[in-house]
């Protein structure tokens, strides 16, 4: 987690963490990108860590998983990230709980807030 993300996490977690059973950080989703040759186990592990998408935080609730993107001065890329993570999480779900998506940020313009509302993305301004 970057220093800027950590600041957002501290601000958010001191205010909003009600209703969560657990939090998981740097959660990998999607498939690893493999080269032409079959790598040995150690190299495969490194490829897996580097080439897969990484969710900042996943919050576990009793009835849902919440994918949380930590993004200072959030722009359109934050929206693309949470939508991508939701699709990849849903590709290989852990269970049948619903999937929620949210962005924790210190700044987002009203146009992007509107887009988030249309896609069901919760925005936490901290």
pTM, whole model, 2 decimals? Answer: 0.84
Which CATH code is given to the segment(s) 3-27+53-125? Answer: 3.40.1350.10
pLDDT-derived band of residue 28, with 50, 70 and 90 as boundaries? confident
Integer Cα distance of 46 and 118 in angstroms? 38
Summary mean pLDDT of the chain: 88
pLDDT at 114 over 90: yes
Q: Which residues contact 38 (CB under 8 A, 6 or more apart)?
A: none
Domain boundaries, the chain: 3-27+53-125
């Amino acid at each position: 987690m970057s220093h800027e993300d950590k600041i957002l996490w501290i601000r958010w977690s001191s205010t909003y963490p009600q209703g969560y059973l657990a939090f998981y950080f740097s959660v990998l989703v999607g498939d690893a990108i493999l080269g032409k040759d079959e790598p040995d186990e150690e190299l495969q592990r490194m490829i897996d860590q580097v080439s897969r998408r990484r969710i900042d935080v996943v919050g576990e609730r009793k009835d849902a998983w919440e994918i949380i993107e930590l993004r200072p001065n959030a722009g359109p890329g934050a929206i693309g990230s949470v939508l991508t993570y939701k699709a990849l999480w849903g590709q290989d779900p852990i269970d049948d709980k619903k999937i929620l998506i949210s962005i924790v940020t210190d700044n987002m313009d009203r146009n992007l807030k509107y887009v988030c509302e249309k896609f069901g993305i919760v925005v936490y301004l901290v």
